[in-house]
Amino acid sequence: MKKHKLIFYLIAALLVYSCIGDDDIDNTPKLGLLKSVEGYFNGEIDQITEISYDENYRLTSLKQLQGNFATLTYDVTYLEEEVTSIMMAYHWHPQHTDTTIVIDYDITYQNNEITLSDQNSENKKVFQVTDGYVDSYKVYYGDNNDHVNESVFKRDQHNNIDSISYYATNLIDTHLLVWKYRYSNFDTSTKLNSAYNPVFNYAYSMYEPFIGAVLNLKISNETPLTSTPINVSYPGSVTAEMVTDENGLLKKFYYEYFGSPTNDLYLELDYY
């Protein structure tokens, strides 16, 4: 369950499409811009995500405190309007292992392809996009990049997500379907970026949402509230319930995980 909670908060931390975190800018709640997200489990706070932007409202840093055991950060560098590099650091706190893993990615753009290249290895990540929507996401790793994991995104004529299929290729199997999720119950009223909706269960390995946020990528035009596994053994579906205030801002996001009570997992969002 701990792994599932971690994935849930990673996916959900950036629910709102446009955010800001600069003290010199008019910080009025009427802007509806996300400041932070607190994740709760069984009534206790479990995750905190803080987001910072520059004077041009571009994401420059994202920091997530994961309970009392680790901190995940993303630091972003731009050249004009394009992201040129991302530094990801994962630090385990001293009471655990006191270890930090740092990965620096260089970003290149070619036609409809965005490539993140690890500065210290041959590993890379590749997005194929159409009009800002993700069509596929590939992760290359291993000797000579002979292992490839690929997520394929299918949408309808309105660009609403229909399914995500996750495939693996290694020395034994070629394009092996690992799992598939179908999406339904679309919401049109709340302004969310559905790429960070927690009903994209297990999506952190299928599509890294924090990197997607920095690159301003999209998954679905409208927000799906239900995710149903097609070829895995987990029963039932993942559903979400949104609570908004009088300005239409999302204040709470309840998350039902395969039949668990909705009050077990929820987010509270704070805005400028």
Minimal CA–CA distance to 240: which of 194, 205, 206, 209?
A: 194
> Which residue would you say has higher pLDDT here, 261 or 136?
136
Q: How many other β-carbons are positioned within 10 Å of the β-carbon of residue 160? A: 18
> Whose CA is closest to 46, among 205, 271, 255?
255
Count how many residues are written for the chain.
272
Q: Residue 27 pLDDT > 60, yes or no?
A: no
**Residue 13: what pLDDT?**
41
**Torsion sign over Cα 54, 56, 59, 60:** negative
**pLDDT tens-digit series, residues 36-65:** 888 888 888 888 888 888 888 788 888 888
Please state, in angstroms and rounded to a whole number, the distance separating the CA atoms of residues 36 and 53: 12
Domain span including residue 177: 2-271
Nearest residue to 194 (alpha-carbon basis) of 212, 181, 177, 179: 212
Q: State pLDDT tens for residues 146-170.
A: 788 999 999 999 999 999 999 988 7
pLDDT digits (tens, 9 = 90+) for 209-246: 778 878 888 888 888 888 888 876 666 777 888 887 77
Q: Can you give the pLDDT at residue 116?
A: 96
Dihedral, CA atoms, 187, 127, 267, 251, nearest 10 degrees?
-50
Distance of CA 63 to the CA centre of its chain: 13
Q: What is the pLDDT of residue 235?
A: 63
d(CA 85, CA 220): 25
> Is residue 251 predicted with pLDDT exceeding 50?
yes
More confident residue, 198 or 9: 198
Three-state SS for 8?
helix
Question: Higher model confidence: residue 79 or residue 196?
Answer: 79
CATH code, domain carrying 48? 2.40.160
* Token pair listed for 252: 């709470």
Position 52 scores a pLDDT of: 82
How many structural domains comprise the chain?
A: 1
pLDDT at 21: 46
What's the average model confidence in pLDDT over 107-118?
Answer: 95
What are 3-20's pLDDT values in tens digits? 444 444 444 444 444 334
